[in-house]
Amino acid sequence: MNIPVSTVLDVADDGTLLINTNIDGTSQLWEVRNDDQRVQLTDLSSAATGSYLPGTRQVVVSSDTDGNERHQLYLLDPLSAELPVRSLPPLVDDPAHIYHLMSLDAEALIYSTNRRNEVDFDLIRRSHRDGTETVLWDGGGSFAEVSASPDGKYLVSNAMSLQPASNTLRLLDLEAGSWRRITDENAPGHYGAVHWLADSSGFLTSQDASTDFASISYYRVVDQSWHLFLAEEGVNVSLSLNDSGKRALIQRLRDGQTTLSVGDLTVSNGFPELGTETAVKLPTEGYGRGVLSADGSQLAVTFSAPTFPDEAFSAPLGVELAASPLGLQQRTFAEGRALAAGLSVTEVVRIPTRDGEQIPAFVTRGDNSAVINIHGGPESASLYQWSPRNAALILSGHTVVVPNVRGSSGYGRRWMSLDDVELRLDSVQDLVDIHRWLVESGVDGGRVALYGGSYGGYMVLAGMTFYPEYWAAGVDIVGMSSLVTFMENTSPYRRAYREREYGSLEHHRQVLEDASPLPRIENLAKPLMVIHGANDPRVPLSEAEQVAAAVRANGSECEMLIYQDEGHGLSRRKNQLDAYPRAAAFLRRTLG
């Protein structure tokens, strides 16, 4: 836990990196300057993130209070402020509501906020010059991304739809003041960030509406038409452009591992064309994600692997891209890396299921005890990257399995849809298939534990109540113990979002009840540890309190750890260093 991780947020045109690092205990903003001097920008009471104003070193900062997720926005000039700043005046003084940065250019920023009715998020454009605000959208819903065309005529919003793991795109003509839908909001499909071409004739975005794995499509404004631009079988392809839309960074994701390349875009006969790609050399197999500077002259990359904690890298690109692979310069160096480098190799495997499917998983072999660590989401994925909690379990001697059970992203829309609503318990049964595979691999079937956070915490509780005979212990971190009470008590804006995946209280109450651990808690007889943040706006603390009380009422062991200055998960190292070593010790004891 004491090995710091560094994540690239942005890179300025002069090569200065804006990073997050938790070197001092919470994730704060730092700069890595061209002389490799590291300068701390923020020392706020909670974690901070941010982006550069294009073409400048001014930073738009976002931070909440003690994990409550009511993020506020601030403006910081690192060249004039006394660093690190411990407080900043907010751009909008309203801590009771949420403010998310959606888009940023030299003239203005666009944010979304739920201040109108607590549930729906409106889009507001705020001028940097005088702070004047214009409402761009107040028609309901919630937004993931917003992108403005270079000529200032159009705005594309990426908003959640009512389909599971899906969203819809709308195009705003700023001159006419009119919106139009440009995707079918009743059809399943997830669209990624929108990146405009230099001439504003159209944009590129990743999508899985027309392909099973994510591909890149082009939308042309003049005739409102969609065209497939880049697709590869069994690979998730995504793309980002610099501010002028002339240089592209391409990420290919397969089995939780990535490759990166850069290439230049031209427009011919109204369609974009990608020139020869230059590969980016990553340190080893792992997960890398990058960002281009506004002018396209700089590339910055965060890289991580199971034995390689997250570090920042960069490379100048020049006017013309070289044909040979692009080398990266490492810009951050965490103390304690030797411990990570000495861990056992993590394998990429496929685990067969009772119905002919295969569960993708990462496995690190240890003794004949095992811990299955299930990710949250559920429309998320475990990646081939560093995890200090997994490292602790490996160093404890356990075999560690990190699966992407059905419902996970990264393996095609079909796989991601196999746990929706009435299919919820099919993903729980995947855990039984993993247990069977472990026993066949030499693990003692009586020494297998479940471990997970958020939806992964729900999976721990569901596994231990629906299939109790398979598990020796469980660690539930900010998990849901009842899908009914979770829906009733979560934040209103979260309920509207989560009903797409789990089902609604109005139409699917019995489905939610039937998939909930709490009504069958008498089955949970093995030791349980519960970890939760008191300020969690997603999974309320009451979910932890009710399951702990029920387990104890049955006479079973339950250790509960509550942290008053945390939200959905533990972001402060002091709390991590209290909770996670205790979880590791709990598993060592209960697994023998």
Distance of CA 30 to the CA centre of its chain: 21
Q: What is the per-residue pLDDT for 355?
A: 96
Angstrom CA distances, 136 to 109, 158, 329, stand at 12, 13, 41
Q: How far is CA 21 from CA 38, 41, 541, in A?
A: 11, 11, 28
Quote the tokens at residue 588: 């060592």
Longest dimension (CA), the chain: 73
Q: Are 334 and 6 in contact (CB under 8 A)?
A: yes
Q: Is 354 helix (H, G, I), strand (E, B) or coil?
A: coil
Helix (H, G, I), strand (E, B) or coil at 152: coil
Answer yes or no: are the C-beta atoms of 434 and 371 closer than 8 Å: no
Decide whether 85-339 matches 343-591 in CATH topology: no
For the question of whether the overall pTM of this predicted structure is more than 0.95, the answer is no
Q: Mention the CATH class of domain 85-339.
A: mainly beta
In a structure prediction context, what are the per-residue pLDDT tens digits for the chain, which is 592 residues long? 899 999 999 999 999 999 999 998 889 999 999 988 999 999 999 999 999 998 899 999 999 988 888 999 999 999 999 999 999 999 998 999 999 999 888 889 999 999 999 888 899 999 998 999 999 888 887 777 899 898 889 999 988 787 778 889 999 998 888 889 999 988 999 999 999 998 999 999 999 999 999 999 999 999 999 999 999 999 999 999 998 889 999 999 999 999 999 999 998 888 999 999 999 999 999 999 999 999 999 999 999 999 999 999 999 998 888 888 999 999 999 888 889 999 999 999 999 999 999 999 999 999 999 999 999 988 899 999 999 999 999 999 999 999 999 999 999 999 999 988 789 899 999 999 999 999 999 999 999 999 999 999 999 999 999 999 999 999 999 999 999 999 898 877 677 667 766 777 888 899 999 999 999 999 999 999 999 999 998 899 999 999 999 999 999 999 999 999 999 999 899 999 999 999 999 999 999 8
Closest alpha carbon to 168 in 135, 139, 196: 139
The pLDDT score that the predictor gives to residue 308 is 96
Reported as half-sphere exposure (CB side, CA atoms, 13 A), residue 358 has a value of 10
Token pair for residue 500?
């797409």
Q: Is the dihedral of CA 404, 409, 413, 419 positive or negative?
A: positive
SS3 272: strand
In contact, 561 and 578? CB cutoff 8 Å: yes
Q: Which pair of structure tokens corresponds to residue 427?
A: 């993903």
The C-alpha atoms of residue 451 and residue 455 are separated, in whole angstroms, by: 11
Q: What is 343-591's CATH number?
A: 3.40.50.1820
Return the closest-CA partner of residue 358 out of 428, 460, 434. Answer: 434
- Using a 10 angstrom Cβ sphere, with 0-12 exposed, 13-18 middle and 19 or more buried, the burial of residue 340 is middle
Q: Which residues pair with 165 in a beta bridge?
A: none
Q: Tell me the chain's radius of gyration from C-alpha atoms.
A: 24
Give residue 493's pLDDT: 67
Provide the 10 A C-beta neighbour count for residue 42.
27
Q: Encode burial over 168-203: b for 16+ CB neighbours within 10 A, e otherwise.
A: bbbbbebeeeeeeebbebeebbbbbbbbbbbebbbb
Residue 492 one-letter amino acid: P
* Distance in angstroms (rounded) separating the CA atoms of residues 478 and 568: 6
| DSSP calls for 122-154 | EEEEEETTT--EEEEE-SS--EEEEEE-TTSSE
Do residues 563 and 534 touch, judged by C-beta distance below 8 A?
A: yes
Cis peptide bond prior to 316, omega within 30° of 0: no
- Output DSSP code: residue 587: H
Q: Are 248 and 241 in contact (CB under 8 A)?
A: yes
Q: Domain coordinates of the chain in residue numbers?
A: 85-339, 343-591
Sequence-ordered list of residues with C-beta below 8 angstroms from that of 162, at least 6 positions apart, any chain? 185, 186, 500
Q: Tokens standing for 591?
A: 């697994």
Question: Which residues have a Cβ under 8 Å from the Cβ of 143 and sit 6 or more positions away?
Answer: 100, 102, 112, 121, 123, 157, 158, 159, 160
